[in-house]
Amino acid sequence: TARYNAKTAEPKWQETWDRQGCFRTREESEAPGKDKYYVLEMFPYPSGRIHMGHVRNYTMGDVIARFKRARGFNVLHPMGWDAFGMPAENAAMENKVHPADWTYKNIAAMRGQLQAMGLAIDWEREFATCDPSYYRHEQAMFLDMVEAGLITRKKSYVNWDPVDMTVLANEQVIDGKGWRSGAPVERRELTQWFFKITDKADDLLKGLEGLERWPDKVRIMQTNWIGRSEGARVFFPVEGLSKDYSLEVFTTRPDTLFGASFCALSPGHPLTRELAEKDAKLAAFVRECEQLGTSEEAIETAEKKGYDTGLRARHPFIEGHSVPVFIANFVLMDYGTGAIFGCPAHDQRDMDFARKYALPVLPVVAPKKLQGAELETFLSELGEANEAFDGDGVAVNSDFLNGLEVTEAKRAAIEKLEALKLGEGTVNYRLRDWGISRQRYWGCPIPIIHCPSCGSVPVPRADLPVELPRDVSFEKPGNPLDHHATWKHVACPKCGGKAERETDTFDTFVDSSWYFARFCSPKAETPTDIAAANYWLPVDQYIGGVEHAVLHLLYARFFTRAMKETGHVGLDEPFTGLFTQGMVTHETYKGPDGRWVAPDELFWKDGKPFLDEAARTPVKVGAIEKMSKSKRNTIDPTAIIDQYGADTARWFMLSDSPPERDVQWTEEGVEGAWRFTQRFWRIVTGDPASLAEPGAPMPALDEVAEALHRTAHQILAALTAHIEALQFNKAVARIYELANAISAFKPQDEAAGKWVKREAVDMLVQMAAPMMPHLAEESWQALGHETILAETPWPIADESLLVEDSVTLPVQVNGKRRDEVTVPRDADKAAVEQAALGLEKVRNALDGKTPKKVIVVPGRIVNVVV
Ligand code: ANZ
Ligand code: ZN
């Protein structure tokens, strides 16, 4: 037979699916009696070209979409573009191309690439977040949410790049310097818009419990990110100021108050600011601290440094006792109250600090079991130690708390603080409000007008969208919207006076926080069509990279709640199932000059890579790493599709590793996948005379035919379960298994043989269809079917054929499980006994002794008694 030609078959089937509208979404009313299924892969940023990570991600989603469609679900499987963001502005600055032109050009290129993959996507629902027809609704919802009290405007600290004149995310600060400019980053206070996500901290935490189809690691990461801590606020009246002032600290360990030996303020604390105004040395210290930027990690790892203010803080429990007040670089301004009391004996940071500044170390908690001399030794050793004791125990040296366990002591301390009006129990979160203002051009404009007399005024709904001006310049550093000659100058909607537009734009995470809801009704005149949203949401299966475990997925969960409160959706949790796929890796190569060499620049000889055809300049094979431009170990999906076809790329992506793990891209692997497509084609079309006509009635089956019949159905059932469980590599293995069984099939009775082979081949093609859809369609047609496979229901396994003809029984020796034995279902007791006693582990357990009795409970268990 002729070889399978993916080059001609793939575009042909893509056109056919398109022409027939196979993947057009059916509204609820068009799909009576069907359950809906919404499968979504995280939408791409239009960087210019798709990469292998996209291929893996979208192939998985596509398998699910095609599978669910064949299983009778009404499927929504859309695609769009997360199209705002910095790279477009960088391109504008570097290549003098307009961000919009750059973005839409990239979208067009990437759309073509994705279409060449043969994805079962409803392209009629496509949108880009940079399109005013999308972001106008985002602006409208922002105004709704301002009205609903979900948003606030407040001052906060940001990393400021003084050269690029822009705010930097923590990740953009590298060793205290801006990632682009290399200039030392400053900490600046800016007034910005915030989503009040902290108000929903507890609800977001609680919601995680119900997300059973989310990976545990993602739920744990979100839990840690929200970082709920129960503790207390404690007031320490400060002595030495000209005014009455009580320092408020947050602690999770009020039980250790008797061990307090200092208080410390953050460099950004209001009292620090006040003191620094009159203290040049302190001001210099604060500036030094600010150079650390705002990243928690940088602050955690920096050497602990402090500045003694000379002030004293009065202890809330000990009459007449006070502790020194420091400014310390490790105290974060935006955690708790921005101030702490230090208990060196029981907190490592405080211990480090105390040893550096010669402050007392007063142990106040000891392990419960210690008593008498042992306890004395423990306490005196801890007093001299450099390591804090943060374990559990009971309070000591703590007056009314003595003898209480940590939890009890915390409660008692809080009770006392409340009675004294010097503090109260409280819950603190690590989670910060979500700052959404960005001083950038290529983002959704914040629909606010600032008026000198009326304040911040919402843009009237009728004036939405606030569109980005096209004529902007990137010549000057800073925000082009700010430099624009006319754009920001408008009349105040309230008083008509001179006013200015807000020139900040939204964080692009806002755009990606609701796109999944927009896909339910992408052309609606309102942000969502509530009926459509109620029908399609939640997303049944969401697939994407684990790098979005926290920010995107937490913001989207918050935004969904905010949309519910403003009447745009009817649910809290947007994603019922979440799957985080592994990365695509590749070997790295280094030339003699130490530079990275791309795979397609290599010449291979005897399994070794060289820089030249003559194999004179060897190349070193480096580690296997995530494909990245910087290491030059990327493979261009389009090149692979051109060479082998999309099905080969898809098949390889699914076959090699479990989907949650990394998969290593290798040339041999891809060639193996390609060879399988050819073998598949030969199995299906190589000997048409060996197959019965489609739909032929089933004849009586002889033993060998019955065996293949049974195998096919068992494999179908197993593969179906694998795809349901997103175990694509296992599904692939089942396809190989069935292909092998068909290849090995030697019919005896001709009619029976033809019939079961036809059944097995048909099933093989149907089962492979979600994974290699083009090859499957071509095969289906070659097999004489008149339907389009994409519209053919999934085959159903015959339950009666699934019963195993063997059973596996646990084998116990004296009641302890040692091994298991697999025997024919109808084996008699003597045969089972013999098989069980033959097991090595059982023989070891018997240790040469003869069993007194062997009890065989048929179908259940074997128990050997010695
Ligand atoms: C006294 C104390 C004694 C503390 C002790 C711990 C152990 P989590 O669990 O993360 O919430 N803290 C409070 N505010 C801080 C800030 N702005 N910057 C740096 N550290 C801060 O941590 C709470 C603990 O971190 C608090 O409890 C406080 O130190 C410190 F044996 O108070 B603790
Ligand atoms: Zn006004």
Are residues 139 and 447 in contact, defined by beta-carbon separation less than 8 angstroms?
yes
- Nearest CA, atom 29, ligand 1: 251
State whether ipTM is beyond 0.90: yes
Instruction: Give nearest CA residue, ligand 1 atom 10.
Output: 229
Tokens of 768: 């492979």
pTM, two decimals, is 0.87
Ligand 1 centroid – CA 350 distance (Å): 9
Atom of ligand 1 minimally distant from the CA of 388: 31
Q: Ligand 1: which atom is nearest the Cα of residue 365? A: 31
Phi then psi dihedrals of residue 310, to 5 deg: 85, -10
Phi, psi for residue 137 in degrees, rounded to 5: -75, -30
Q: Which phi and psi angles does 575 have, rounded to 5°?
A: -125, 110
Query: In the Cβ-directed half-sphere of 248, how many Cα atoms lie within 13 Å?
Result: 15
Instruction: Give the pLDDT of residue 417.
Output: 98
pLDDT score at 1:
65
To which H or E segment does residue 530 belong? helix 530-536
- pLDDT band, very low/low/confident/very high, at 451 (cuts 50, 70, 90): very high
Preceding peptide of 538 cis, ω within 30°: yes
d(CA 412, CA 254): 9
**Whose alpha carbon is nearest atom 27 of ligand 1?**
251
d(CA 28, CA 617): 63
Distance 336 CA to ligand 1 centre (A): 8
Residue 339 Cα to ligand 1 midpoint, Å, equals: 9
List Cα–Cα distances, 335 to 229, 270, 429, 591, in angstroms: 11, 14, 8, 48
C-beta of 299 in contact with ligand 1 (< 6 A): no
> How far apart, in Å, do the first and last CA atoms of the chain sit?
64
Chain segment 544-570, per-residue pLDDT in tens: 998 898 889 999 999 999 999 999 999
Ligand 2 centroid to residue 443 C-alpha, Å: 26
Cβ–Cβ under 8 Å, residues 85 and 443: yes
Q: Model confidence over 87-140: pLDDT tens digits?
A: 999 898 888 999 999 999 999 999 999 999 999 999 999 999 999 999 999 999
User: In angstroms, what CA-CA distances link 551 with 158, 195, 554, 562?
Assistant: 18, 13, 5, 16
Annotated binding site for ATP: 629
Statement: residue 435 has pLDDT above 70 = yes
- The pLDDT mean for the chain works out to 94
* Mean pLDDT across 172-183: 81
pLDDT tens-digit series, residues 335-363: 899 999 999 999 999 999 999 999 999 99
What is the pLDDT confidence band of residue 858, given thresholds at 50, 70 and 90?
confident
Residue nearest to atom 33 of ligand 1 (CA): 251
Of the chain, the percentage scoring pLDDT greater than 70 comes to: 99
| In the predicted structure, residue 198 carries a pLDDT above the cut 90 | yes
Q: Is 351 in the pocket of ligand 1 (CB under 6 A)?
A: no
Residue 252: CB within 6 Å of ligand 1? yes
Closest ligand 1 atom to 252 CA: 27
Written as one letter, the residue type at 461 is R
Banded pLDDT at 755 (limits 50, 70, 90): very high
The per-residue pLDDT for range 27-63, each reduced to its tens digit, is 999 999 999 999 999 999 999 999 999 999 999 999 9
**Closest ligand 1 atom to 428 CA:** 11
